[in-house]
Structure 1
Amino acid sequence: MGTQAVLRTLPFAVMATVVVLDLLAGSSLGLLPLLTLGPAFAVTGGVRHTALTGLVALVLSVPLAYHDRLLGGPRTTVTLAAIVGVTAAAMLACRLRAEGERRLADVRLVAEAVQRALLHPVPRRAGDLRIALSYTSAAVDARIGGDLYDIARGPGGVRLIIGDVQGKGLDAVETAASVVGAFREAAYDEPALADVGRHLEDHLARQLGGEKFVTAVLAEVSENEIRLLNYGHPPPLLLTCDGRVHRLEPREEAPPLGLGALAPTGPEPYGSAFREGDQILFYTDGVCEGRDRGGDFYPLEDRAPHLLRARDPQEALDLLERDLVAHVGGPVPDDAAMLLVRRERP
């Protein structure tokens, strides 16, 4: 039985327990007023469910008062009034909660629309590459974050970026859009991936003045290979065609974009073979840091083989996104972006 079914059943189970105990113990314990617990517990449901619970409590109170020889007495009158009052208060609380949830949902939709409008739609095909995207907006107060992504063709192959701006809100989204714009400008012209990284570092130094930083991974996919630059971002996962999962970690840690003064030489490029049938998953920390109710992080490496179950990359990524939401047990607490690149037969 699911959580919602348990919550809907709980008020009636509580009232049934009160009736049974009262019948067994008689009027000596005075359990009749405890019928108000039914509508009180029903506050987790809807307005109609709460009203039904209050009606059942009223119906049960009459024969129970007769059994206890209290019918017509002041205790019964007070109990009936309490049931009506608690039911009305619970119904009001249900309605206010529902309205709040609708407003929050509307704000989240607007926030996602703003963020998607600022981020350029990525192509779903680029030569022998198929690309899938998943973006899940955070639910906490509908505070959108600065997750970013983009794909462009460059002199050496297909180039992409995925990153996360420090902070939340529209300021973070504006910074993300600025970084994406700078990436598009550099990705088409700069001869090497390291030059793209230096262009972004200079852009952030001019635009932000050290006030914000951006963790990011830059990648360039060429024939049978992928080259990477990691600026303090979670490492991508390589899924080979035989089902193995590898973390593509840099040899040395590098600071995020915007903190180039801490490492003037920048991150060292590194790479990996990327052949037909292989997939690479890029993601932000909202994915790997998603926790369940027990506090355990989402086991991304263990669940990544889900991506092999579907022939279509977008379908596979949607499956992984649903698995993440199921692990968290509801909306994710932080923005979670994933970018899946699959190499197929040309």
Structure 2
Amino acid sequence: MALVAAADVTAGPGVGLLPLVSLGPAFAGLAGSWRRTAALGAAAMALCCALGLYDGLFQNRRGYTALAAVAGVTVAGVAAAVVRTRQERELASVRTIAEAAQRVLLRPVPRSAGHLRAAVSYTSAVAEARIGGDLYEVVPVPGGVRVIIGDVQGKGLEAVETAATVLGAFREAAHDEPRLSGVGARVERVVQRSLEGEGDGEKFVTALLAEITEVGDVVFLNYGHAPAMLVRPGRPPVFPEPPQPAPPLGLAWTDSDSPEPYSVDFGPGDQLLLYTDGVSEARNSLGVFYPLGERSGLLSDSDPQLALDALREDVVAYVGGPLHDDAAMLLLRRRLNDPTRRVSVSPVPV
């Protein structure tokens, strides 16, 4: 408004810059409250009157036309400010509900769980979303810690509902079942009933269950999920694969389809990274997948959360923009002063 006034005074009445004073209340309606917009509109009207008198424009219709333009834009700006403010309040309410849902569905992972230190990272592919179809949980149990990470096929509210079903079943079974295979069987039954009730035979959930024992090993159950990355000090990372592939949760029809447990040693200073395909299948502009194994050195920070944050930032930088899929990562690090025994990679009894 000040620039328009200066230009109008400099150029004289023949140029016709007076209606541009309405830009003040127009921009105020986009960013300010309705009261601020109305105040700027009143100031614009006063400025328009002053410039119209200075230029002698009220001797004809030009001055009154400029006043009408400023008044009309001010009314429109006030209405836009009212609508925008109402929408911002509704969005803030939705975000609050989403954050509450996240705390219920994806509860904060304890930074210390038994003999482990833990960290988690979750990035939703949906703009402004806090939760999606990926899931994770860490449950301390007598003799160790049981964890799950999974990926629900699909997106949106249906995927969130399925993730809630899986997590609810896992949290209950993790405390009740003496063996990890029993935990997996209970989760499988719950998912089967849930998906059958929806009448959709094509939905499924990939999941990786793990039990880190206090005696120095990790037992896995892999339901069609990406293998965990095991990082040992001074050694290249490894990705322990199951003895035989198994279908995801919701697609097994017989007991023979159930995955076979397998174990690896997990000693002091070792790290275990569980992740979803939003990480392993992230691609750069050339379509090349993210080289997760080559970036294991990013997990060297003494603070597990800072190490995981560095890895997440590297994934986002590699993609060069927003991720195209939900990405969850769970990092478990065994304390250096924790005595353990070593066992070789082998199947364990069901």
TM-score by length of 2: 0.66
Q: In the alignment, which residue of structure 2 is the partner of 1:260?
A: 252
Do 2:247 and 2:257's aligned partners in 1 also have CA atoms closer than 8 Å?
A: no
Distance in 2, Cα, partners of 1:300 & 1:27: 67
Q: In the alignment, which residue of structure 1 is the partner of 2:341?
A: none
- How far 1:63 sits from its partner (Å)? 5.1
Distance in 2, Cα, partners of 1:108 & 1:32: 43
Please tell me the residue identity of whatever aligns with 1:105: A
Q: Is 2:210 the partner of 1:219? A: yes
**1:319-339 Cα shifts (integer Å, max 9, x gaps):** 8789999999x9999876543
Q: In the alignment, which residue of structure 2 is the partner of 1:83?
A: 70
From the superposition, tell whether residues 105 and 139 of structure 1 become closer, same or farther in structure 2 (CA, over 3 Å).
farther
Q: In the alignment, which residue of structure 1 is the partner of 2:19?
A: 33
Do 1:155 and 1:191's aligned partners in 2 also have CA atoms closer than 8 Å?
A: no
- Counterpart selection for 1:101 from 78, 83, 88: 88
Please tell me the residue identity of whatever aligns with 2:84: R
Distance in 2, Cα, partners of 1:110 & 1:331: 23
**1:235-277 Cα shifts (integer Å, max 9, x gaps):** 65556556x9958485897653212359964567677664433
From the superposition, tell whether residues 120 and 21 of structure 1 become closer, same or farther in structure 2 (CA, over 3 Å).
closer
Distance in 1, Cα, partners of 2:236 & 2:38: 53
Deviates more, 1:142-151 or 1:33-42: 142-151
Q: What secondary structure is seen at the aligned counterpart in 1 of 2:16?
A: coil
Q: Is 2:169 the partner of 1:182? A: yes
Do 2:230 and 2:240's aligned partners in 1 also have CA atoms closer than 8 Å?
A: no
CA root-mean-square deviation? 5.1
From the superposition, tell whether residues 226 and 110 of structure 1 become closer, same or farther in structure 2 (CA, over 3 Å).
same
Q: In the alignment, which residue of structure 2 is the partner of 1:277?
A: 269
Q: Is 2:52 the partner of 1:61? A: no
Distance in 2, Cα, partners of 1:42 & 1:111: 30
Distance in 1, Cα, partners of 2:60 & 2:291: 64
- How far 1:160 sits from its partner (Å)? 0.7
Q: In the alignment, which residue of structure 2 is the partner of 1:343?
A: 334
Q: In the alignment, which residue of structure 2 is the partner of 1:110?
A: 97
Q: In the alignment, which residue of structure 1 is the partner of 2:347?
A: none
Please tell me the residue identity of whatever aligns with 1:219: A
Q: Structure 2: where are the runs of 5+ without partners? A: 339-350
From the superposition, tell whether residues 267 and 40 of structure 1 become closer, same or farther in structure 2 (CA, over 3 Å).
farther
Do 1:237 and 1:245's aligned partners in 2 also have CA atoms closer than 8 Å?
A: no
Distance in 1, Cα, partners of 2:332 & 2:273: 7
Do 1:46 and 1:95's aligned partners in 2 also have CA atoms closer than 8 Å?
A: no
Please tell me the residue identity of whatever aligns with 1:282: L
- Counterpart selection for 2:191 from 187, 201, 204: 204
From the superposition, tell whether residues 68 and 192 of structure 1 become closer, same or farther in structure 2 (CA, over 3 Å).
same
TM-score by length of 1: 0.66
Distance in 1, Cα, partners of 2:88 & 2:317: 20
Deviates more, 1:245-254 or 1:43-52: 245-254
Distance in 1, Cα, partners of 2:17 & 2:308: 55
Do 2:220 and 2:262's aligned partners in 1 also have CA atoms closer than 8 Å?
A: yes
Do 2:105 and 2:167's aligned partners in 1 also have CA atoms closer than 8 Å?
A: no
Q: In the alignment, which residue of structure 2 is the partner of 1:6?
A: none
Structure with the higher fraction of residues in helix conformation: 1
Q: How many residues align?
A: 328
Which protein has the larger Cα radius of gyration, Structure 1 or Structure 2? 2
Percent identity among equivalent residues?
52
